[in-house]
Amino acid sequence: MGYQIMNNFFHIQLSLSLVTTIFSSFAFAQAPEKPKVYTQQDTLRGSLTKERTWWDVKRYEVTVKPDFESKTIIGSNEIQYQVVKPNKGDIKLQLDLQEPLIIDSVIYNGKNSLSFTQTKNVWYVAVPAQKLAAKNNIQVYYHGKVHEAINPPWDGGFIFKLDSLSRPWMTVACQGLGASVWYPNKDHQSDEPDMGASLTMIVPDTLVAVGNGRMVYKKDNNDGTVTYKYNVNSSISNYCIIPYIGKYVNFKEVYQGENGPLDVNYWVLDYNLKKAKPYMPEQVHLMFKALEHWFGPYPFYQDGYQLIDAPHSGMEHQSAVSYGNGYKFGYRGRDASGYGWGTKWDFIIIHESGHEWFGNNITTNDLADMWVHEGFTNYSETLFVDYHYGTTAGNEYNYGIRKGIRNDKTIIPAYNVNAQGSGDMYPKGGNMLHSIRHSMNNDEAFRQILRGLNKYFYHKTVNTKEIENYISKKARFDYSKIFDQYLRTVQIPVFEYKIEGATVTFRYSNCISGFNLPLVLTKNKVTLKITPSTKWQTIPLKPAQKTLFNTDAIEKMYLINCLGN
């Protein structure tokens, strides 16, 4: 579901949607949260240290052999990199590998063994002098007891489970926690392997292994094990490189998408095959029709698309989406909106696939900007509903999930410390985008912005300001104060208005200075556009325009609270 800690909140949100009503009419700022004390490990993980910035990752080639009984793994990662800042040999190379895993050796360019030191989850490798633009590689061998996920994907780690027939079932979920929980890498979102990655898995010959992208080969080792190798040609986030190991069977198809034929593979546990064959393709086709319409072509045609049974609810692993929703509509049969629209489609297939555009195609440099992943993907649910069931349905769905907004802390937290913002990045982020869309009052222009984002930032890492500025530029309106309001404060603005005779007086309150979200009010072909500010404004009203000031209608389109007569 993206950002795992935030998924925990979303799980709570879905439960609350069944037992609570909408919170009080006005949501004001809560007491300031206590500042978090960050550790040295937080800084080393979250910042671009000098030991990270002199080299750029070009490719990962990961090999792993898990042992189900001992809950251990042995493996290696060949890291191909290019020197982007000359290094006289006085600056070490920072690798990330989380305890209790242990690095055994590091081999430089296939020849020399390099020395290294450890500071908990960070390993410093002493390298020889590096010339600018030089291309080198290190082969990192490691082993050990792996950090095991207890309640995946909420807490993350390596997953050792049994399927319903008591057979081994293994995978990983590690967003937020970091891919260094199971293999050594530069564990920072800003540096994706530009030339892709391979994943080689050595598993018992009674099981099947699946990875991202396309299978390169399967080889019987004649010792009770078999080796599977998968390859991804596109750049890919560290946390998206994931092994799936279990009693899988496969069926496949070619989907005719916006960019032509797309190879689609479904990997399911053998006993799920009968129900998966009609169910998965139907939902996947609906997903592609809606999301390619709004976001543009699926971003990874060269690597294909896979949907894979997993022993947890689901995650957006690039070109290898994990699925654990029990073959039920909604989120495990539940509707987050309360309007019924969420139980007409499979939440996990739509949401996790939405991340292929926002999260995998467009990836944030810092974990603090993860609203770009989660806010847009949350909004992909609304857009899916809108595409298949109409505008009213989309408005109701978007408004319904608003009850999950807690305003507990800001969506964007501190930078450079691997900090995690509020789970509000899901419903509040989606509602913010819905507000911007309605303020534009031009769905085609809004759609072109979404498609433009995926084209302009194709396979790139970004900062939130780049996304914010792109939207403002293409919409021809400065939305900076709107982004500041919803991403950097916990206040929900109040739209106050007074209708007196043939005039209306209005303003925003409970908001930052300069907040100026335009409101387009429309009903029965009568339309009025206003741009309130924190100062009172008075304008004349035609008789037919008075009915436009309908609290329920306004609040369904905009993330504001209304106070008026």
Tokens of 231: 């390859």
How would DSSP label each residue in 149-189?
Answer: PSSTTTS-EEEEEE-TTS-EEEEEE-TTT-GGGTS-B---T
For residues 497 and 538, the answer to whether their CB atoms sit within 8 Å is no
Of the ranges 16-20, 66-70, 374-378, 483-487, which one carries the lowest mean pLDDT score?
16-20
Tokens of 464: 């939130």
- pLDDT band per the 50, 70, 90 thresholds, residue 483: very high
The pLDDT value given to residue 153? 85
Bridge partners (DSSP) listed for residue 244: 171, 210
pLDDT value at 93 more than 50: yes
For residues 374 and 340, the answer to whether their CB atoms sit within 8 Å is no
Polymer length in residues for the chain: 565
Give residue-wise pLDDT tens across range 402-437: 999 999 999 999 999 999 999 999 999 999 999 999
**The amino acid at 298:** Y
pLDDT value at 140 more than 50: yes
For residues 488 and 511, the answer to whether their CB atoms sit within 8 Å is no
- pLDDT band per the 50, 70, 90 thresholds, residue 377: very high
Name the 3-class secondary structure at 213: coil
User: What's the rounded Cα separation, in Å, for the pair 355 and 353?
Assistant: 5
Return the percentage of the chain with pLDDT > 70, whole number. 94
Return the percentage of the chain with pLDDT > 90, whole number. 92
pLDDT value at 6 more than 60: no
Q: Mean pLDDT across the stretch 145-155?
A: 90
Distances in Å between the Cα of 457 and the Cα atoms of 255, 299, 358 are 25, 11, 10
User: What's the rounded Cα separation, in Å, for the pair 93 and 221?
Assistant: 35
The pLDDT value given to residue 1? 64
The contacts of residue 340 (CB under 8 Å, 6+ apart) are none
Q: What is the pTM of this model?
A: 0.94
User: What's the rounded Cα separation, in Å, for the pair 121 and 123?
Assistant: 7
For residue 357, count other CB atoms closer than 10 A to its CB: 26
The pLDDT value given to residue 438? 98
Give residue-wise pLDDT tens across range 30-87: 445 567 789 999 999 999 999 999 999 999 999 999 999 999 999 999 999 999 999 9
Give residue-wise pLDDT tens across range 439-466: 999 999 999 999 999 999 999 999 999 9
Peptide bond before residue 261 is cis, with ω within 30 degrees of 0: no
The pLDDT value given to residue 24? 32
Give residue-wise pLDDT tens across range 486-516: 999 999 999 999 999 999 999 999 999 999 9
Nearest to 55 by CA among 20, 80, 21: 80
Nearest to 464 by CA among 367, 398, 357: 367
pLDDT value at 470 more than 50: yes
The pLDDT value given to residue 316? 97
Distance of alpha carbon 60 from its chain centroid, rounded? 21
pLDDT value at 2 more than 80: no
Q: Mean pLDDT across the stretch 373-379?
A: 98
The pLDDT value given to residue 565? 87
User: What's the rounded Cα separation, in Å, for the pair 175 and 153?
Assistant: 9
- pLDDT band per the 50, 70, 90 thresholds, residue 151: confident
Phi, psi of 127 (to 5 degrees): -115, 155
Of the ranges 32-46, 145-159, 252-266, which one carries the lowest mean pLDDT score?
32-46
- pLDDT band per the 50, 70, 90 thresholds, residue 3: very low
The 3-state DSSP composition of the chain as helix, strand, coil percent (nearest 5) reads 30, 30, 40
Dihedral, CA atoms, 415, 416, 421, 426, nearest 10 degrees? 90
Q: Mean pLDDT across the stretch 266-294?
A: 98
Phi, psi of 138 (to 5 degrees): -125, 140
Q: Which domains does the chain have, with CATH numbers?
A: 4-40+333-488 (1.10.390.10), 50-253 (2.60.40.1730), 494-564 (2.60.40)
Give residue-wise pLDDT tens across range 189-220: 999 999 999 999 999 999 999 999 999 999 99
- The residue to which tokens 């009770």 are assigned: 224
**The amino acid at 385:** V
Burial class (CB in 10 A: 0-12, 13-18, 19+), 93: buried
User: What's the rounded Cα separation, in Å, for the pair 238 and 412?
Assistant: 22
Q: Mean pLDDT across the stretch 291-301?
A: 98
The pLDDT value given to residue 510? 98
The pLDDT value given to residue 154? 82
- Mean pLDDT (the chain, rounded): 94
Q: Mean pLDDT across the stretch 317-331?
A: 98
Give residue-wise pLDDT tens across range 106-139: 999 999 999 999 999 999 999 999 999 999 999 9
